[in-house]
Each structure stands twice: as C-alpha cells, then as structure tokens.
Amino acid sequence: MPELPEVEIVRQSLNKKILEKKVKKVLVRNRNLRFKIPPNFEIFLREKKIIRIKRFAKYLIFKLSDNSNILLHLGMSGTIHLIKNKDKNFLTNTSFYSSPQLPHKHNHVEISFRNLKLIYNDPRRFGFFQIIRNNDLLKKRFFNLGPEPFDSQFNEEYIYLYCKNRIKSIKDLLLDQNFVSGIGNIYASEILFYCKINPSVKVNLLKKKELKKIIVNSRKVLLNAIKKGGSSIRDFKNINGHKGNFQKHFRVYEREGLNCRRVKCKGIIEKKFFSNRSTFFCNICQK
C-alpha cells in the first residue's frame, strides 16, 4: 500500500500535470470499489476544473472549481495513469507494473481532459472515490483521524496524554490512524529504528524523551522519503514513471538477517509479526 510519502509524490506529480484542466468526460467501468462509486459521479465531475490537488495522510483531495472535492484513496493496489489522448502506444507510468504500457485489466475510472486522460487502475479494488461537496464536510470526513506527523498538534503533550493509559505496542500505535495519520508499515519500522525503540515496547512505558524522539524521527524519516521520491516497493513509480529511491536507504525494513547499519552496532536485523504485520528491528540497538 502506498504510504504518506508515495501519495505525496503522486500529489506533486498531478499538480504539475492536471492543474487548471477542465474535466470533459468521465467513464466509470466498475463502480464496485471499496465503497461503491455513486451513480451521479460522472455528471458531478463533468465540466469542473481541477483547481488544486491536496493530500491528507494517504488521501488525495481533488479541489474543484465549485469548491467541492473528490476524495481518492489508493487502497492496497490502486494506481493513477496519465496518457495523452493521441498516444496510440498508451505509454504511462508503471506503478506496480513491469511494463510501460497501460494495463488492459482493472481500469475502473477514466477522467478525460482536453488532451489528457487520467485512468485509475486497481486490481484488488480496495481504493475508492468519494464526493465531498464542501470544505466543512471535508473536515468532518477526517474528524476521527489523528494529526499528520508534520502537524503542530502532533506534539509531546498530545502523545503523552494519548499513551499514558494504553498498553498496546508502539509499533501498533504508529499504525493506528486514529493516533497519527499517514504512517504505514514501512515507515513505522524505520522511525522506531532511528528512535532506538523496540517495536514491542508498550506505549504507557515510554519516557518523555522517547516520545520526543518519535516526533522528531517521524518527521525526519517521512521528509527524507519524500525528498528521495518515496519507496519503490513492488515497482512503485510516480506519475512521470520515475522510481523512488528511499528503499536504498532502508535501515531495517526487508533487511532480515543483515547487519545493522548503525555505526559501531554489531546487531542483526530481525523480523517479527505484530498484528499480522511484518516488523523489522535491530536485536541490539533496539532492545
């Protein structure tokens, strides 16, 4: 599943490609995504201009010319493909695919502009589109989600109050979108490595200096991942077809059995499962 950095890279790419473009036609081939695409989706979107693409956590937000919004979550396998209308070869970005050709299957939604098409492909159909008619409803939509790691509300006091009476592991807490929005399995493991915190530690046992480390390193890891174009797991690429490079800088993720990359640490990276999710950590510096 694309996490916050990968979704941010897609947002940046879309802002370069479809900003100020007017929707000419919408074709829905399959409404049965995670949430059923509403029957008025095509009419609602037609002739509206894309003013801006924003992001909250793992959600893309298409801001439209009438102050309404289209919300898109990519789910487990959703990808966006941009092709020129006159391109007979249908060359596209190759997110999650090994071919530069537009996939033939699972192209569920097609949004056409004057000289460009945006195609949403999703083999597993866990992604979804939602119509959000105004900004008040948009705020309400995210009301139950925690702040992003970059938000000033994600601070020591917030984490301390949230954690003091909870006994779940810190790894599970970082994946809890009600606590903090946007962190997924890859980056939770990387963040905890930089914090020198074992992923199994119960959150009510964390000291304040450790809470501060979580804030600092959450921002550090995510910003670095965005800077490096995200992580290309299963051939993730951005809208321009460029791979991310952050996977080359993983300290623990998918490095089971390898030496710890921390200077002077002689530990070995181990892999365990928390809540059915793979977790990687150093058996020495994250004790």
- The closest of 228, 227, 244 to 236, measured between CA atoms, is 244
List 31, 34, 228, 277, catalytic entry: 277
Q: What share of the chain is helix, strand, coil (3-state, %, to 5)?
A: 25, 25, 50
Is 2 among the residues known to form the active site? Answer: yes
H/E stretch holding 50: strand 50-56
The DSSP symbol for 142 reads T
Handedness of CA 61, 28, 101, 76 (dihedral sign): positive
Q: Per the residue annotation, which of 2, 5, 103, 199 is the catalytic one?
A: 2
Catalytic residue among 11, 55, 58, 213: 58
Catalytic entry in 3, 6, 8, 148: 3
Read off the amino acid at residue 184. G
Angstrom distance (rounded) from CA 235 to CA 226: 16
Active-site residue 164, yes or no?
Answer: no
The DSSP annotation for 265-286 comes to ---BEEEEEETTEEEEEETTTT
Q: Is there a catalytic annotation at residue 58?
A: yes
* Cα–Cα distances in angstroms (integers) from residue 108 to residues 24, 74, 122, 129, in the given order: 17, 12, 7, 11
Helix axis angle, 208-227 to 4-17, nearest 10° = 40
Task: Mark whether 147 is an active-site residue.
Answer: no
Concatenate the DSSP letters of all residues of 170-218 into one string.
HHHHHH-TTTSSS--HHHHHHHHHHHT--TTSBGGG--HHHHHHHHHHH
Active site positions, annotated:
2-3, 58, 277
